[in-house]
Amino acid sequence: MPTLTIEYTTESERLQLERLLAYSTELRAVADTAESGSVLAACEAHVLVAGRRLLRDHLQTTLQAHIDRPQKKRRVPARKAAVPAP
């Protein structure tokens, strides 16, 4: 079985990635267990409910991480020294 290595920078990023993987697994299970002829409808129903919840939670987590991050001081680029005319 292939493996995947993912690098993340924060704990909230790791949780978001795990939720996305779980969502993908759930959607595959819905497709696999749906009756013949109803796979699309079952997957659409799952996406509308679970997908919306996933996106809402992702947005909330992202915004909260932004709020919790220490305020970065704005860097002002250093001025170039005036070059004397030749």
Residue at 50 is within a domain: yes
Please give the sequence-ordered ranges of beta strands (E in DSSP) within the chain, or none if there are none.
none
Q: Is the pLDDT of residue 81 over 90?
A: no
Residue at 48 is within a domain: yes
Residue at 1 is within a domain: no
Residue at 43 is within a domain: yes
Angle at which helices 11-33 and 52-68 cross, to 10°: 180
| Domain encompassing residue 57 | 11-68
pLDDT tens-digit readout, 19-76: 999 999 999 999 999 999 999 999 999 999 999 999 999 999 888 888 888 776 556 6
The structural domain count of the chain equals: 1
Residue at 47 is within a domain: yes
Residue at 56 is within a domain: yes
Residue at 84 is within a domain: no
Widest pairwise Cα distance in the chain:
83
Is 47:34 a contact under the CB 8 Å cutoff? no
